[in-house]
Chain A
Amino acid sequence: MSSANFNNTNASARPWFERLDRIDRRWIFLLMFLAVSGPILWIGVTGKTLPEAPTMAARAVFEEIDHLPAHSLVLISFDYDPASAGELQPMATSLVRQCAAKNLRMVFIALWPLGNQVAQQTIQDVIRDDYPALKEGDDFVNMGYQAGNEAVMKLLLTDFAKAFPKDSRGEATSNIPMLKDVKMASNFPLLISVSAGYPGSKEWVQYVISAKNDEMNFVTGCTGVSAPQLYPYFPQQIAGLLGAIKGAAEYESMVNASLAVDGVATAPKYLQAQRRMGPQLVAHLLMVGLIIVGNVIFFARKRRGAA
């Protein structure tokens, strides 16, 4: 874009930091491209991923689910659509996997119109493929999408069956065995939301968790853009928080480690997030390096100016 940089006549006469400061920004672009594409290629070819050290927010998610006794009821809300699946699907997959492995009874709902579709896909990929012993209606049920945003949340507080009168198969809520004792949201000891925006985690906190904080816990996974708005609620209202692909990778590695079987490689669908952390690490290091170089230039120039 800046063709002027091509004909720097007396470039060699300038001190090194001046030359570095005027570097054509296209070199930075090239470095960024390599920083992202290199790891993708390397991880894609070798299948290796980077280790993860879970932070407290991610560890809290794992432990909240891990502490629940078997057959506890869990309400899982799919508040996203395929557009944000890149960031959120790995979380949803691992969350459902941990719940299924712990033999918890899962109730899926969706507050985004396309959330039902991603929920079905996740049920297919995780429960039907890998935990075929779990029976729909007894161990898990998908209640589908319900329009109304916060209104649905408020209704859930008082009357579950009214908010979701039937499941996605068309079965009436009253006929579903696992929902026999469910009257309202607080019958679920744990609420999980995978959220891409409105309505999502923030609304769950405002309308449901604030009212029932002592009866039910809330863990959530969200996109990077919405994470800053949710941190103020952690750990009081939000017991565990997965922020963007980083949080997903940490949590995914914990779930994989807890379910690992010797001699059997983890299926690629359970490594999505960790695969995506490779380019993140290198690109972040590049950014950090660029900031350092920028400041080295700044101070070198300042010293020269002062001398």
Chain B
Amino acid sequence: MKRIIPMWIAIIGGFAMMLSSFVPLAESAGEMFADVFNVVAAIAFVLGAGSLAKQHLEKLSRRDAGWGYSIITLGSFIITLIIGMLKIGIHPNPIFPQAAYSGSNDSEGSAWSWIYEYMITPLTSTMFALLAFFVASAAFRAFRAKNTEAILLLVTAFIVLLGRTFAGVVLTGWFPDWASGLRLENLSIYVMQVFNTAGNRAIMIGIALGVAATGLRILFGIDRSWLGGGDA
């Protein structure tokens, strides 16, 4: 029973939503669901926060290796949460001075924007920037002419990489006009227009069918591996 009811909830909800796309009266059902979903996800943050706190409190109480770092995580979590939830140090919005919480957390000079600018931004954007190093090491290791597929992968990447800088212009810029299509920068555009478009198009058609089949497996009750509920 604990698995049957959720399955039927999924089936009815899914078909109703599918139908709503065709009925102009219910056209906004999708947007409404997006709102409902965002609210449920925001409420579920309590569960995530609980998991985070439990995980680190257990580490602390057991004095696991690296428990000191758990103090940092928990401490920064709680401090940020308090500053943000209570809008500490935020002045009301000048247009609505009578509403105490009308100011935005993002206003310049607030503790919240300090956290954003000097902690979140450098930490996350540096993490993002690590990619520049990883593209280099991946290219060194993976782009080797082992077989036809690998050769195509590597040659295309090579053409595009060169075509995107001044180096490409220096190497092939002297090609006469009638062969201008073979200049690296034009060749890379050609590759994008023809091969990339064909590949991406087929991938998209395949994904659409994959999504449809996955969705139908759920809505027909064939695939229930995602269903929890305990007793089978």
Q: A residues touching B (Cβ–Cβ < 8 Å)?
A: 25, 28-29, 31-33, 36, 50-53, 55-57, 227-229, 231-232, 234, 246, 277, 280-281, 283-288, 290-291, 293-295, 297-299
The DSSP consensus for interface residues of chain B is helix
Partner of B161, one of A29, A31, A229, A288: A288
Q: How far is the CA of A32 from the CA of B129 in the complex (A)?
A: 12
Q: Report yes or no: A284 in contact with B165, Cβ–Cβ below 8 A.
A: yes
Does chain A have a CB within 8 A of B102? Answer: no
Q: Report yes or no: B161 in contact with A294, Cβ–Cβ below 8 A.
A: no
Q: Smallest CB-CB separation from A281: which chain B residue?
A: B165
A-B contact pairs, 11 of them (CB 8 A): A52-B166, A57-B189, A227-B192, A246-B165, A280-B164, A280-B165, A284-B161, A287-B136, A288-B167, A290-B139, A295-B143
Interface size class of B (residues with CB under 8 A): 20 to 34
> In the complex, how many angstroms separate the beta carbon of A282 from the nearest chain B beta carbon?
9
Partner of B169, one of A25, A53, A234, A286: A53
* Interface membership of chain B positions 128-145, coded 1 if the CB is closer than 8 angstroms to chain A and 0 otherwise: 000011011101110111
For the A-B complex, the count of residue pairs with Cβ-Cβ distances under 8 Å equals: 95
> In the complex, how many angstroms separate the beta carbon of B57 from the nearest chain A beta carbon?
30
Q: How far is the CA of A50 from the CA of B132 in the complex (A)?
A: 21
> In the complex, how many angstroms separate the beta carbon of B121 from the nearest chain A beta carbon?
10
User: Which residue, of B133, B157, B167, B196, has the highest number of chain A Cβ atoms within 10 A?
Assistant: B133
Say whether, besides A28-B133, A28-B140, A295 and B145 are in contact (CB < 8 Å).
Answer: yes
Q: Which residues of A contact B158 (CB under 8 A)?
A: 288, 291
Q: Report yes or no: B136 in contact with A28, Cβ–Cβ below 8 A.
A: yes
Partner of A231, one of B135, B145, B196: B196
Q: How far is the CA of A29 from the CA of B140 in the complex (A)?
A: 11
Q: How far is the CA of A53 from the CA of B166 in the complex (A)?
A: 7
Q: Which residues of B contact A25 (CB under 8 A)?
A: 137, 140-141
